[in-house]
Amino acid sequence: AKSKSKGSYALFNDDFGITIDRQHQMERELKLSIHNNELCCYFQPQYDYEKKSIVGFESLARWHSAKFGMVSPVTFISMAENTGFIKELGRFVVDQTFAFAKTIQGRGIRVSFNASPVELLQADYVNYVIERFCYYGLTPGSVAIEVTESSLIESFDEVIKKFKILSGYGIYVYLDDFGTGFSSLTYLKNLPIHSVKIDKSFIDEVVTDRVGRDIVDMIVRLAKRLNLEVIAEGVETQAQIECIYDCGCRMIQGYFISPPVPWERALSLLDVMHK
Ligand code: C2E
Ligand code: CA
Ligand code: CA
Ligand code: CA
């Protein structure tokens, strides 16, 4: 199937750094991924270092393509957005996440999932989330939606309205990748959100860089003042955990605890790491 003319190799798509030809193939495969059972969610523990217990999971989409191998969500999410497949993909993620949350209901665990700005701005996205939340009979506080600060850029008021509707049902809102956006400190106090997730780029530096540590310290203190929970993401070492804990943050997510794992494996982690 590799009968390309010499010229077609020059046709690169800037977004993915791959040939247009390959991109179109991948788009076609992506559209079939749900039907072909290639799409699933993995779950990464969110760990309370003080309680020494898993208190949450983040649901992360995975595409094991028969043709392309493991494709990063960074690639296939934006591809799905460009092709319109994002609607189906997003609904799939919501359903997987809620089904998982239902399975572990009653154990005091919250399962979060990601919504890109494009998804959040779809007219019927929030309605779908609420409809499924009710369908699965989930209890308030058992799931959370992770959104980035960039969601707020385009239509601030509209997005705030959506946050309020979601939290009204007990679907918590987390501000993801906190500190990397355009933003933050000035409007943070008016946002109807439950938690902020400190971006990995700050966690990377927390041990080695004095300023990096000060930033984490400041984010944690500000969040506490505003009665927000803080989760540190991308924690990879014991030294980082200790440093973060010293800053007053007890909620940890990262490879040091566990990478994202398939459904069954997540359940068995819960057996050994949940109190
Ligand atoms: P994110 O929401 O910031 O997710 C955190 C990413 O960091 C995940 O990458 C996770 O596997 C990775 N990670 C967690 N702990 C560590 C660590 O200790 N070290 C390192 N190096 N990485 C760590 P992943 O799963 O590849 O997802 C990348 C991004 O793709 C996510 O960033 C999110 O923006 C997007 N994404 C993933 N799944 C979905 C989804 O279902 N829907 C939407 N809209 N976006 C998704
Ligand atoms: Ca996230
Ligand atoms: Ca993040
Ligand atoms: Ca990120």
| pLDDT tens-digit map of 208-232 | 999 999 999 999 999 999 999 999 9
Comparison of pLDDT for 170 and 21, the residue scoring more? 170
Rounded-to-integer distance, Cα 38 and Cα 138, Å:
27
ipTM: 0.98
Span 91-124, pLDDT tens digits: 999 999 999 999 999 999 999 999 999 999 999 9
Residue list, ligand 1 pocket, CB within 6 Å? 44, 60-61, 72-74, 77, 93, 114-116, 119, 146, 176-177, 234-236, 254-255, 260
Atom of ligand 1 minimally distant from the CA of 116: 44
Q: Are strands 69-71 and 110-114 parallel, antiparallel or unpaired?
A: unpaired
Q: Looking at residue 4, what is its pLDDT?
A: 43
**What is the rounded CA–CA span in Å between residue 260 and residue 140?**
24
Task: In the chain, count H helices and then E strands.
Answer: 12, 11
Query: Mean pLDDT, to the nearest integer, of 14-22?
Result: 72
CA 248-211-238 angle, to 5 degrees, is 50
CA atoms lying within 13 Å on the CB side of residue 128: 18
- How confident is the model over 238-259, as pLDDT tens digits? 999 999 999 999 999 999 999 9
What is the pLDDT confidence band of residue 233, given thresholds at 50, 70 and 90?
very high
Mean pLDDT score of the chain, rounded to an integer? Answer: 92
pLDDT category at 275 given cuts 50, 70, 90 is confident
Q: How far apart are the C-alpha atoms of 198 and 9, rounded to whole Å?
A: 40
**3-class SS at 120?**
helix
Mean pLDDT, rounded, for 42-56: 98
Query: 3-class SS at 96?
Result: helix
Residues with Cβ–ion distance below 5 A, ligand 2: 114, 146, 176
Q: Tell which one of 39, 114, 207 to mutate to probe ligand 1, the residue whose CB is within 8 A of the most ligand atoms.
A: 114
> For residues 99 and 33, what is the distance between their CA atoms, to the nearest angstrom?
19
CB atoms within 10 A of CB 185: 10
DSSP string for residues in 140-182: TTSEEEEEETTHHHH-HHHHHHHHHHHHHTTEEEEEEEETSSS
pLDDT in tens, 145-157: 999 988 888 788 9
Region 46-62: what's the mean pLDDT? 98
CA angle 208, 210, 212 (to 5 degrees): 80
Whether 6 shows a pLDDT value over 50: the answer reads no
160 — pLDDT class (breaks 50, 70, 90): very high
Q: Are 79 and 16 in contact (CB under 8 A)?
A: yes
Predicted local confidence at residue 152, as pLDDT: 86
